[in-house]
Structure 1
């Protein structure tokens, strides 16, 4: 025999409130005490009540859907950010829609027209680069994550790359390293330049030659190792984990011990690279999931009429492993 669907009235009766109050508690609206909201939610959970999403949308004027608009086709940055966004939104029973623009302005505009037409409650904009980007032109709450908006009035959440890179140098200096070289990515990438400038400023007299710019690849790490070894470094700071893994491989081929002869640091804490490296890399974690959580929190506040303006900078975290500490 098919079990009858649990109604809002059933939840209200068990919680000892009116149906209207039960609806407000479950939809997180109205001026209710936290005790009342909790009591209604416990009753709903006990009965196995599932809200009618269509009715919820009609009564609130919202779709309870948020879009994550990204240029990061590989998902290297957008997937961790989305996990953080969903951590926050799922608590309010909001759905997240991922839209990959593939760095195509026309595709982005098509997505935006579709998202506005569907009535999404807000948009988180992210990508694979940290360069400030032009704002999107929509009449919806928007928060930018990883790459800030060029409009200072927009809400943006970014990572403090300067402090992150400086922390690797502080770590190396604390281990007694006195000749630190730096290998990084393209000189036209903001993240590469910021990290290199932070290494130069933090290393001072311990800097071994000028930063070497190239590519975000293991191959470049291997090639650049031959260049910086002419300066006889006892530590190599790298602008990414991919570069650092290539550096470690090349040093091992040349008979150098890591970290015995030369300590190596990476950047990003990308498990595919950092943990697969031999030895595992000391690196900087961008804390992308936390960045996603903060962006989602700001978006919910904006949807609620409490918009944030300006850039919120989150700290990165140094993760120490065998490439500097040994075994």
Structure 2
């Protein structure tokens, strides 16, 4: 006689873990159907799969991942290797990746190399020793990084920091388009005397953002005040110093585009101290959408969001595809988005 729901629930009072047989009895299907449904196999109707999943959840039944890995030659795990666990840029990327992994019941081993190449190699060996199915490597800067090589035996996706090797899969923010996006925003409400305050010139992202801004101005027959961007540190103090310089040398300016929110907040502070109204007299736009900086600026800062969580999700999707035998080598570019706040919205 087939078990009823009460019979199966009664069985669970016995000190033993639930089995495929219990799930099959509760769902009213065969053991083979339960196995196919829980392992994502084809030829199982949607309604049947849902019924099996609900029964498994009710019984707190979890598939034997070790047995699955022996059958499929997969471990159901991936490694997430970062160089900046406490960084405000790498954490959103990792959250996006983990969200995507979670939707497919994938376990994630997280390792922090702390920017140390020796520590990174140690973690890499440990992850490969655990038979991970693939790796996502999250950098601590936007600059290209050294590739882990082509002979690891598992696919690798580089996120935020691209690999130097074009054969690798990398997911990065579109910094050129971001510079263009910032300038086109201020041009849209009539600004034309525009200066650009960037960060460290050695950062590829800094150069790319400036390039996009110059291209956008050129398309409208304009150029940056001073004909080039000001490069310096990624800091508020540099933003303040740059703003002083611009006000002394280009008093006619009506917009300052900045390569980071920290720089922009320093710029806003000096404009306010000098008696310039933001944005009525001078509009300001930043980059990063770092909430602690952008929302606490006075006034709150218009900025470019790099869509870091989307970078992480895309990296996970690429890794899944590569694990399934469909790698997509080369860079994958994620568009940025404009977040409008009060440093570019005119007062009424």
Paired with 2:55 and 2:39, the residues of 1 have a C-alpha distance of 14
Q: Pick one of 267, 289, 293 that aligns with 1:273.
A: 293
* Equivalent residue number for residue 294 of structure 1: 314
Q: Pick one of 205, 210, 217 that aligns with 1:196.
A: 210
Comparing 4-13 with 120-129, greater Cα deviation is found at 4-13
Is 1:227 the equivalent of 2:245? yes
Paired with 2:158 and 2:40, the residues of 1 have a C-alpha distance of 25
Q: Pick one of 127, 130, 143 that aligns with 2:157.
A: 143
* SS at structure 1 position matched to 2:182: helix
* Equivalent residue number for residue 18 of structure 1: 30
Contact 1:71 1:126 in 2 (8 A): yes
Contact 2:85 2:91 in 1 (8 A): no
* SS at structure 1 position matched to 2:344: helix
Paired with 1:12 and 1:301, the residues of 2 have a C-alpha distance of 31
* SS at structure 2 position matched to 1:92: coil
Q: Deviations over 1:207-258 (max 9, x none)?
A: 2122000011111101111112221210000000010011111111111111
Contact 1:76 1:128 in 2 (8 A): no
Is 1:264 the equivalent of 2:281? no
* SS at structure 2 position matched to 1:197: helix
Paired with 2:37 and 2:47, the residues of 1 have a C-alpha distance of 10
C-alpha deviation, 1:78, in angstroms:
1.6
Q: How does 1:127-166 map to 2 (within 5 A)?
A: 127-137=139-149, 138-166=152-180
* Equivalent residue number for residue 207 of structure 1: 224
Comparing 233-242 with 198-207, greater Cα deviation is found at 198-207
RMSD of aligned Cα (Å): 1.9
C-alpha deviation, 1:161, in angstroms:
0.9
Rg (Cα) greater in structure:
2
Comparing 3-12 with 268-277, greater Cα deviation is found at 3-12
Q: How does 1:3-42 map to 2 (within 5 A)?
A: 3-4=13-14, 5-29=17-41, 32-42=44-54
* Equivalent residue number for residue 192 of structure 2: 178
Q: Deviations over 1:179-220 (max 9, x none)?
A: 000001011110111001111121231521220000111111
Is 1:245 the equivalent of 2:259? no
Paired with 2:29 and 2:69, the residues of 1 have a C-alpha distance of 22
* SS at structure 1 position matched to 2:343: helix
After TM superposition, the score normalised by the length of structure 2 is 0.88
Which 4+ runs in 1 deviate beyond 6 A?
none
C-alpha deviation, 1:10, in angstroms:
1.5
Task: Please list every run of 5 or more consecutive structure 2 residues that lacks an aligned counterpart in the other structure.
Answer: 1-9
Paired with 2:49 and 2:147, the residues of 1 have a C-alpha distance of 38
Contact 1:179 1:208 in 2 (8 A): yes
C-alpha deviation, 1:63, in angstroms:
2.5
* SS at structure 2 position matched to 1:318: strand
Q: Pick one of 135, 140, 144 that aligns with 1:123.
A: 135
C-alpha deviation, 1:140, in angstroms:
1.0
Matched residue pairs, number?
Answer: 327
* Equivalent residue number for residue 90 of structure 2: 78
